[in-house]
Amino acid sequence: MARFSYQDADNYGNSGSSNFFQLQKDGEKARVRFMYRTADDIEGVSVHEVQIGGKKRYVNCIREYNDPIDKCPFCQANSKIIAKVFVPLYNVDTGEVLVWERGKKFFPQLTELCSRTPNLVSQVFEITRHGDKNDTNTTYSPWPLGSPDNTRLEDLPEPVDIYAKGIVLNKTPEDMDYYSRYHEFPDRPQQAAPQQDSQQYTRRTPSRGDVFN
């Protein structure tokens, strides 16, 4: 498994679905609830980026930052590790449960929000985009609206399962080796959410011809 808490964020790399939260234009706003209680609920995911059918996809890294590099075939073949946090949001105006894809640098902002509001989900925020489309310097400012209320996580729909929705793909070591050779994954069902311990297997040694993008 390559999920991690906010305390471990520094140990990992930097950073079109309808399930995604997006603000497209400069000044665009949305009212949301962050679906966290405390900073302990914040969970990052370390991923590898691959190309499948001409589209960028994320594959869950199957090793922890302090595991041997050969535990993950993609790491062993020098595929970059990217730290992501897929923030679960509840859109107050539409009633949708969404995922906001953020990089490692967003962790401090999230933890600061948690420190200011003991039960973060109880506070409605207005998120504003600052930057035009495709502007790499775009920033977002969450601003609290009113006072916290009695809303609990249990009062809202279930968060989006990033694995069940295929936002992050779970692949076996054998699948990763297959991708290294053929630039695609074998045709079989998506794996369930990763477990802590990965099963041992006979590994093929990656070669210089292995390709990830």
pLDDT per position as a tens digit, 35-51: 999 999 999 999 999 99
User: Among 149, 159, 37, which Cα is nearest to 96's?
Assistant: 159
Q: What is the model's pLDDT at position 160?
A: 94
Q: What is the model's pLDDT at position 109?
A: 93
Provide the pLDDT confidence category of residue 15 given band limits of 50, 70 and 90: very low
Residue type, 197: D
Q: What is the model's pLDDT at position 72?
A: 96
Question: Considering the chain, what is the average pLDDT of its residues?
Answer: 85
Q: What is the model's pLDDT at position 205?
A: 42
Asked whether the predicted pLDDT for residue 198 surpasses 60, the reply is no
Domain ranges of the chain: 3-182
CATH architecture, domain defined by 3-182: Alpha-Beta Complex (3.90)
Provide the pLDDT confidence category of residue 191 given band limits of 50, 70 and 90: low
Q: What is the model's pLDDT at position 206?
A: 42
Total residue count of the chain as it appears in this document: 213
Provide the pLDDT confidence category of residue 187 given band limits of 50, 70 and 90: confident
- The tokens for 127 are 């998120």
- The tokens for 67 are 């595991």
Residue 39: phi and psi, rounded to 5, are -60, -25
Q: How far, in Å, are 86, 87, 103, 113 from residue 46 at the CA level? A: 11, 14, 10, 23
pLDDT (tens digit, 9 = 90+) per residue, 86-119? 999 999 999 999 999 999 899 999 999 999 999 9
Compute how many other C-beta atoms are within 10 angstroms of the C-beta atom of residue 114: 20
Asked whether the predicted pLDDT for residue 140 surpasses 50, the reply is yes
- The tokens for 20 are 């995604």
Q: Categorise residue 89: left if φ over 0, alpha if ψ from -120 to 50, beta otherwise.
A: beta
Round to the nearest angstrom and report the end-to-end CA distance of the chain. Answer: 23
Separation of alpha carbons 189 and 173, rounded Å: 15
- The tokens for 70 are 């050969």
Asked whether the predicted pLDDT for residue 200 surpasses 60, the reply is no
pLDDT (tens digit, 9 = 90+) per residue, 159-171? 999 999 999 999 9
Q: Please report, for the chain, how many H helices and E strands are present, in that order.
A: 3, 9
